[in-house]
Amino acid sequence: MVGRGQRPWLETGRTMDSDAKLQILIEALSAAGASALAIDERGGVVISTMNDAALERDVAAFVAERLTRVGDGARLVMGREGVRLSLTVRPTAEEYGTLWVVVAREVRAATAHAGIEWLNVDEVEARYESSAYGVVEDAAVVAAPVRESYARGVPIMLEGELGAGQTQIAKRLYLDGPYSDQPYVSVMLDELTDRGWRHLLKSSESPLFQTGLTLCVGGWHAVGPERLRELVSAMVDTALATRCHVVLTANDMPGGGESDQAAFVTERLSCAVSVAPAIAEQGGASEKITCYLEYLADMFKTGAPKLSAAAAKMLDAYRWPRNYLQLREVSERLYILVGSGTVEHAVAKEVLAQEDVIKTATFGAPTLESDLYILRPLADTERDIARLVLQHLHGNRTRAAEVLGISRTTLWRLLKGDDR
């Protein structure tokens, strides 16, 4: 029997061949619930302990696409067939060039939960850049003190009116900060099911019990007193802010001011507080709409609509209670109505009149006592944009599908009512 620390192949003068060494490595990684592979800069697999060729190929391709943005010890998250993989990537210099060693571990308890989303830096960047806030605002609008607090690891509470860009500011902090080689995890407390709450508070794979993440937590208004105390206690007792980079977001209460839940967590975590300015406070709404209209025109390869002076004046004077959420919807409606033409005062007045009948329920699900938050169905907006693109392309459905980034079958489904 070989005792711990003994290496009989050395004592007897024997040497292990490469296959034997690789087998020991495979068994050790397997015992730890992991596997590993080394790839070159093109994603070619040089050596691997994986016994699943399809998984090996998928992991190699996934990491290769992100090599320019990962550093030594970077962590990535990869979803595959309902399972989340945690990937640690390290470069290693070899005689024939740099290789990247990837250790992959299946996170067994991490089935998908509504309200909890793990993202890599490229996914965060894509979502930020396609948001209304990301389209119309420069990165510099994030105040320097907030950036400095984030870089120092101070927990941050981003407050403001509904839709004022709190979650997008959190993404911008992550993208510009020193921690973007680690995952970004979004937790929306108002979207969690009972099962999701159990995972968040009890599972060892919960983002609350990890290290190095940027953790963005919102939806505080929907949390009852018991769960609020349990959640905040878990964050404080486990020193979450010393292990992860914590950014919290909250909407103001109707009439202004923070919710009791937001005030409680801000105090307990000793957060630095920053208020996202509302569009009405900033002014210049017409300039932001012009910017978003140009974005839509570029996306759909059309001319950009222009705002008449009277329309611009009306848009600037509007209150914008839902801020960037509303700005996007209004811009899309204007684009659909005028195409590459001019937004006149009457058109702007009509669109804003429609906005005035939309009731803003900032907190929780509608009740008999609360206002309903009525939005135009997304499917209707998608159908209108598809019709506009098709009209611009003189009915060429193949080209329209390409411009929209969808299949011809999907386009047909969007427009099938038009064919009757």
Which tokens hold the place of 414? Answer: 């969007």
Report percent pLDDT > 90 for the chain. Answer: 47
Would you identify the CATH topology of the domain 18-27+34-107? Beta-Lactamase (3.30.450)
Q: What is the mean pLDDT of residues 355-364?
A: 49
pLDDT beyond 80 at 304 = yes
In this prediction, residue 1 carries a pLDDT of 36
pLDDT beyond 90 at 138:
no
At 83, the pLDDT band (50, 70, 90 cuts) reads confident
According to the model, what pLDDT value does residue 411 have?
80
The residues facing 118 across adjacent strands are 185
Please give the pLDDT value at position 417: 59
| Residue 223 clears pLDDT 70, i.e. is over it | yes
**Identical fold at 18-27+34-107 and 116-277?**
no
**Backbone angles phi and psi of 340, in degrees to 5:** -95, 15
Q: Which fold has domain 116-277?
A: Rossmann fold (3.40.50)
Bridge partners, 98 (sequence order): 93
State the pLDDT at residue 330: 95
Residue with tokens 């070899």: 94
CATH architecture, domain 377-420: Orthogonal Bundle (1.10)
Confidence band (pLDDT; 50, 70, 90) for 104?
Answer: confident
Give the whole-angstrom CA distance, residue 388 versus residue 117.
33
Q: What is the pLDDT of residue 371?
A: 36
- Contact between 296 and 331 under an 8 Å Cβ cutoff? The reply is yes
- Range with the lowest mean pLDDT among 199-213, 275-289, 308-322, 376-390? 376-390
Q: Which residues contact 155 (CB under 8 A, 6 or more apart)?
A: 241, 246, 247, 248, 269, 270, 271, 272
CA distance 386 to 363: 33
Please indicate whether residue 26 or residue 278 has the higher confidence score (pLDDT). 278
Say if domain 281-358 classifies as CATH 1.10.8.60.
yes
Per domain, the residue ranges of the chain are: 18-27+34-107, 116-277, 281-358, 377-420
pTM, two decimals, is 0.73
| 186 pLDDT more than 50 | yes
pLDDT band at 357 (very low <50, low <70, confident <90, very high): low
Q: How many C-beta neighbours within 10 Å does residue 294 have?
A: 16
Q: What is the pLDDT of residue 354?
A: 81
What is the model's pLDDT at position 365?
A: 36
DSSP, res 308: -
Q: Does the pLDDT value for residue 238 go beyond 90?
A: yes
Q: If you average pLDDT over each of 18-27, 144-153, 252-261, which comes out highest?
A: 144-153
